[in-house]
Chains A and B, each alone.
Chain A
Amino acid sequence: MSDSVESRPGAAAGRKRPGGPFRHVGARGVAGIFLVAALVFAAVGAAAGNVFYLRLGTEALILSGLAMSVDLLLGYTGLLSLGQAMFFGLGAYASAVLLRDYHTGFWGALVLTELLVVPVAVVAGAIAIRARGVYFILITFGLAQVIGKVIYNTRWLGGSDGMVGIPVVHAPFGIFRLDLGNPVSFFLLVLAIVAVLYVALGYLMNTPFGRTLGAIRSNESRVRYLGFDPWRYKLAAYVLAGMLAAFSGALYPMLRGFVSPELMSFSMSADAVIMVILGGVGTLIGPIYGSVILIGLKTLISGWTEHHQIAIGIIFMLAVIFMPRGLIGLVARRASRVVRPEADQ
């Protein structure tokens, strides 16, 4: 479904406003198309009563939050995290414990998870950001490996089996409440959450704070000469990304009813990076598409063979070499090609 959507949006959006900055017009158009496509998906899924695909779509949306958090670091701050699944997994485990053992309910689980994760992110970030360049990457990688192994060996958290039996909850919104056991309403709720996060992050990246992050990505020492402290900004971005990943993770047990150490494994962190690269670094909407594409590809290839990782890995390497700006980059380039002759007229 998403494939047929890919080729149109940039071109369409670009033609409408030839004079505007393509990237943002294009991105907005692509985001709009995504929203419409997701709503159509929900309607078709609801009509067909297909719980499997609705839940799979919800999972892709949840993972897009993790992918956006990687993009926030890589695309906007210039920091590659190879351990972002650590926060996703911490969020998932925290939410699972809160829901199952403390019956905190939907909002309680989300808020308390964030409160638990912020200090972890501050400490981890303070350590990781002190190290520069590839060392930052290796620390995020190592930190996630070690924390993952500690959880794997903690019997209280279910060890290698993980935790099962997370109760199905309701999401109260003042006058009404959503039953998260209903796959359609859960899908729509997560879609709304992702949309809000996308708009909020897009706005934040246009504030002086976000622009400073971009400046750090381009030239850190010049930012320092201008009197900013890059370390603080990077730490803020890291904590924000950690909170975002943990937030997405906290939604996961509500959907699947279980958590397992795989949620904070390296392959999860790598998946998040693959989503960002496939979709388009530094676009925010790219990772959302990337998440849908990756989950779609995995499901599709799993129909033929269980060895989908070979195909995913090859596609990822090809994307790194030939498509460094991702699908959104391709779309934006096509949009500018369409637009240029009109602009000349």
Chain B
Amino acid sequence: MKEKKFDPRRDYPLASQRPDLVKTVSGLDFSEISLENVSSGKIPPNEIRISPETLEYQARIAEAHGRFQLATNFRRAAELTRVPDEEVLKIYNALRPHQATKEDLIAIAKDIEKKYKAKINARFIREAIKVYERRDLLKKEQRVGENHGTIQTI
């Protein structure tokens, strides 16, 4: 049987309209996620994670409803599903003011593009580099002892 075509205007919510399209990162079917399978150990604790394909469906749904920025966010997210937690946090920290040199950020962009096929994120980081450079938000070389603690807002 031919697979039903995805219609971003009709197929939301995926959980009830198109569960057939939803799979976990490692390809487990949506319907297979059950208490029984969790209890029997068939589903390992780290298994239940959103897949890049699902995020792409959500991006197309957002787009079909005129929400282009939200769609772009989902597409960046789709790429980030492949990036381990620690690395995600490292990139986030590098994007904070004065936390990374231009070279650091260039390297990160190149790295995630190559390792995780994170093209959109790489482009996003490169765009940040340009602005950071203009607005003096990059880390200066050899400035030891600087500590930027998080300032809690009230």
Q: Do A and B bind each other?
A: no
List residues of chain A with CB under 8 Å of any chain B CB: none
List residues of chain B with CB under 8 Å of any chain A CB: none
